[in-house]
Amino acid sequence: MPTAFITGVSGQDGSYLAELLLTKGYQVHGLIRRSSSINTWRLDGIYRGPQDRNKNFFLHYGDLADSSALARLVREIQPDEVYNLAAQSHVKVSFEIPEFTADITGTGTLRLLEAVRMNSRSTRFYQASSSEMFGASPPPQSEKTPFHPRSPYSCAKAFAHMLCVNYRESYDMFAVSGILFNHESPRRGETFVTRKITRAAANIKVGKQDLLYLGNLDAKRDWGYAGDYVEAMWLMLQQDEPRDYVIGTGQAHSVRDFCETAFGYLDMNWQDFVRHDQRYERPAEVDYLLGDPTLAREELGWSSKVSFEELVAMMVDSDLAAVST
Ligand code: NAP
Ligand code: GDD
């Protein structure tokens, strides 16, 4: 039975990836951080507690800031595959806590790579790189596009990305990065723009909210479905040769388009409810991200399945169901 270790397992992608690997027959170990409230709600479908011995799913306390715990866990778990999904992942917040973001999103990757290298160089390593690293580089962006990061978050991701390249070249490790464009789902964190919009549209529809305040409506993103994207992560670790891949849909929409589609799905006109608030603007914006996933299609046989309209509908339906109960 193959064994996987996932950091960030309590996040959006971690929860989908854990589900996927369990269906593929893996024993899955996830890293969670201690918090004052239970923060494993995304794992409710697969985790019932440590007494549930029939499950091949285990949670361990740790933190990307704690290198000794990472080293101990890697030594105890002896994973065949490590997926490093943990990060301070919010771009706007990274301007407010840049040092923390650099430590977790950047140096945290180094700590984990070292833990793996010291244990076994045959362990395969996946790094959650980001299209944010392309930043100001014009679209479409592919594996050949230069990085021009525009936030402490994306600078930290670029550092982590280059570390993986370096560990591959220096130590012959199977370390790869998926350069993933934005991907969303009903499990998306509530402060990312898509979920903020779908939650607000649902709340407004049932009379629980009056208005939605947003920042830049002109920004364009290549939005896909997280459930599709975790499949690409797994595929990258099953290849004969380690290589970095861009993962996206190849289609971009503006934040304005997203508002129009989400409110329109509930028969509302978004312009009646959306207002601008300067506080949601960023010191430096990434205007236009559009992935060119040709290499992933050709070499991994991967392509996104859920369309933009289906994704918005899925998220609105979920938020409407939650707010109506
Ligand atoms: P997410 O929902 O924000 O999840 C982040 C995960 O990291 C959570 O499990 C969080 O734990 C954990 N974490 C944060 N700080 C940590 C620390 N110090 N030590 C250990 N764990 C820590 O992010 P996501 O959307 O699933 O994204 C997964 C990864 O892909 C992230 O690295 C993100 O930067 C990257 N990425 C995401 C996208 C996207 O569009 N979603 C695109 C490209 C790249 P808590 O639950 O305790 O907060
Ligand atoms: N969050 C947020 N809140 N974004 C807003 C708002 C708002 O009120 N109003 C406008 N936006 C704009 C942002 O300025 C940005 O241009 C766009 O909406 C998307 O913002 P987010 O949903 O916060 O995502 P992101 O693109 O900055 O970052 C996400 O995708 C990256 C991959 O490209 C995160 O998941 C990152 O972790 C990931 O690496």
- Is 171 an active-site residue? no
Q: How far apart are CA 275 and CA 255, in angstroms?
A: 13
The reported pLDDT for the residue numbered 325 is: 81
Atom 5 of ligand 2, nearest CA residue: 193
Residue 106: pLDDT over 90: yes
Q: Which ligand minimizes its atom distance to the CA of 13?
A: 1
Amino acid, res. 192: F
Q: Is the CB of 39 under 6 A from ligand 1?
A: yes
The reported pLDDT for the residue numbered 52 is: 74
Which atom of ligand 2 is least distant from the CA of 215? 9
Q: Going along 100-166, which residue ranges are E strands?
A: 124-130
55 CA from centroid of ligand 2 (Å): 35
The reported pLDDT for the residue numbered 50 is: 76
| pLDDT tens profile 159-169 | 999 999 999 99
pTM beyond 0.95, yes or no: yes
Q: How far apart are CA 292 and CA 301, in angstroms?
A: 14
| pLDDT tens profile 150-190 | 999 999 999 999 999 999 999 999 999 999 999 999 999 99
Q: Of the residues 26, 129, 131, 132, which is catalytic? A: 132
Residue 313 tokens, joined: 């509908």
Count the alpha carbons within 13 Å of 76 in the hemisphere toward its beta carbon.
Answer: 12
Q: Which ligand minimizes its atom distance to the CA of 247?
A: 1
Q: How far apart are CA 122 and CA 156, in angstroms?
A: 26
Residue among 4, 9, 20 nearest 42 (CA): 9
Q: Is the CB of 63 under 6 A from ligand 1?
A: yes
User: Are 45 and 123 contacting, i.e. CB atoms less than 8 angstroms apart?
Assistant: no
Q: How far apart are CA 99 and CA 286, in angstroms?
A: 21
The reported pLDDT for the residue numbered 48 is: 77
Atom 37 of ligand 2, nearest CA residue: 89
| pLDDT tens profile 58-91 | 999 999 999 999 999 999 999 999 999 999 999 9
Q: Which ligand minimizes its atom distance to the CA of 215?
A: 2
Atom 8 of ligand 2, nearest CA residue: 214
Band the pLDDT of 54: cuts 50, 70, 90: low
User: Which helix (H) or strand (E) segment is 26 a member of?
Assistant: none
The reported pLDDT for the residue numbered 53 is: 61
- Is 126 an active-site residue? no
